[in-house]
Amino acid sequence: MEQGRIETAEKDMEAHIDEFEEKLGYRFKDKELLKLALTHRSFVREEGSGKTGSNERLEFLGDALFDAIVGEAMYRRMEDEKEGALTKCRSHVVCEASLADRGRETGIGAAIRMGKGEEAAGGRDKTSIIADALEAVIGAMYLDGGFDVTRETVLRLFDRRIEMAIGGELFTDYKSRLQELAQKYGVADIKYETVKESGPPHDKTFFVQVKVNGKTAGRGKGKSKKEAEQEAAKEAVIGEVGHVF
């Protein structure tokens, strides 16, 4: 019975990996390399280090490639900007939050191999785990298909974010950006409210809403109130909060 459960779980994981590749827009020739990129260290701890490795080395490689690809794109597109402006602009795209946002859109969370404990703690939606896995996939893609295909895929996935960053539309501190917009409209009444908490004391998830002039402008969740507030502010900013002013 246990063997049947394991086989079913493996088939489900294969389906998730297939869906992820479809959304990624790249099919790996070496499927084992992709599986390695999608293996969190918690899985290694539970399965035993002799059976498999984690994605941490591939994450290291992918991080370097991601920085270089985005940096080159900005260097070519921002011809009149100096180093400081380029560095600041790149940081908005290569940050953990940006990677996690795109990772969630590709469905990578469902395809990650992780330990039961980490999964029970909400690991499939953790920003750090999703961001690290997507970087690992970038590293694996380079080894599997070379630099050109990696560059093409990364730019296709992040081109909109790169353009938003260049245009000053992408932010890492959405609470500050929301405050700036409120001041622009002459509004001072911005309040963040924790509407719900879930999970055990050591692993809580917070649900927050932000109100502008008493009207709900955005909602967010996170493993801390600060993270949840940033997510709520992000939803408000992306929604161009004008409807609540």
Q: What is the DSSP string of 219-239?
A: EEEESSHHHHHHHHHHHHHHT
Query: Are residues 35 and 53 in contact, defined by beta-carbon separation less than 8 angstroms?
Result: no
C-alpha span between 54 and 112 (Å, rounded): 11
Question: Which listed residue (59, 63, 144, 231) is catalytic?
Answer: 63
Query: Are residues 41 and 132 in contact, defined by beta-carbon separation less than 8 angstroms?
Result: no
- Is residue 198 classed exposed, middle or buried when 0-12, 13-18 and 19+ CB atoms within 10 A define those classes? exposed
Tally Cβ neighbours within 10 Å of residue 224. Answer: 11
Tokens 């380079």 found at: 142
Instruction: From 108, 65, 88, 111, select the one nearest 165 (Cα to Cα).
Output: 88
Q: What would the 3-class secondary structure string for 104-168 be? A: HHHCHHHHCECCHHHHHCCHHHCHHHHHHHHHHHHHHHHHHHCHHHHHHHHHHHHHHHHHHHHCC
Q: Is 63 a catalytic residue?
A: yes
Question: Which listed residue (59, 118, 135, 144) is catalytic?
Answer: 135
C-alpha span between 232 and 241 (Å, rounded): 12
C-alpha span between 87 and 28 (Å, rounded): 32
Q: Which residues carry out catalysis?
A: 63, 135
